Amino acid sequence: MEKMSVILASDEFEKLQAGCMMASVASVSGIEVNVFVTMAAMACFRQKTVDDRRFPKIGEVGQAALRKKAPLFSDLLIQGKEMGSMKVFACALALDLLDATLAEMIPVFDEVVGVATFLGKAEGSQVLFV
């Protein structure tokens, strides 16, 4: 099976949107997708941040996406998981640094892992670093 790995490291809203759209459409197209959420991106996955739509970095396109109610990155991930073969991993280090647990995050994560584990899952795949 064709494989793709998407590493989300940025807290720029538009980058999260683009990365999650790539992951989601790949997943529903029969590609096995592994997503790794790390560093600044992790803070944007807090349930409160998503509920309040208060993203730290958002530009003109992102504002328009919110205003026009385009599907959020979180919805795109949920769709990709429901309708395809996608797993979403949370970076253990990023959670530790934030003093956070998965309970505070939107319910998209399959597992908390470190980089070595994710590299194992990503082996032989196309990698997008966003």
Binding site for other proteins (CB under 8 A): 21, 24-25, 28-30, 68, 70-71, 76, 79, 83
Smallest gap from residue 87 Cβ to other proteins (A): 18
Smallest gap from residue 67 Cβ to other proteins (A): 12
CB atoms within 10 A of CB 129: 11
For residues 97-109, b (16+ Cβ closer than 10 Å) or e, as one string?
eeebeeeebbebb
> Based on CB atoms, which residue is closest to other proteins, 38 or 84?
84
Smallest gap from residue 116 Cβ to other proteins (A): 32
Residues in a beta bridge with 12: 57
> Based on CB atoms, which residue is closest to other proteins, 67 or 103?
67
Do residues 9 and 115 make contact, with C-beta atoms less than 8 angstroms apart?
A: no
> Based on CB atoms, which residue is closest to other proteins, 83 or 119?
83
Report the alpha-carbon distance of residue 42 to residue 36 in Å, rounded: 10
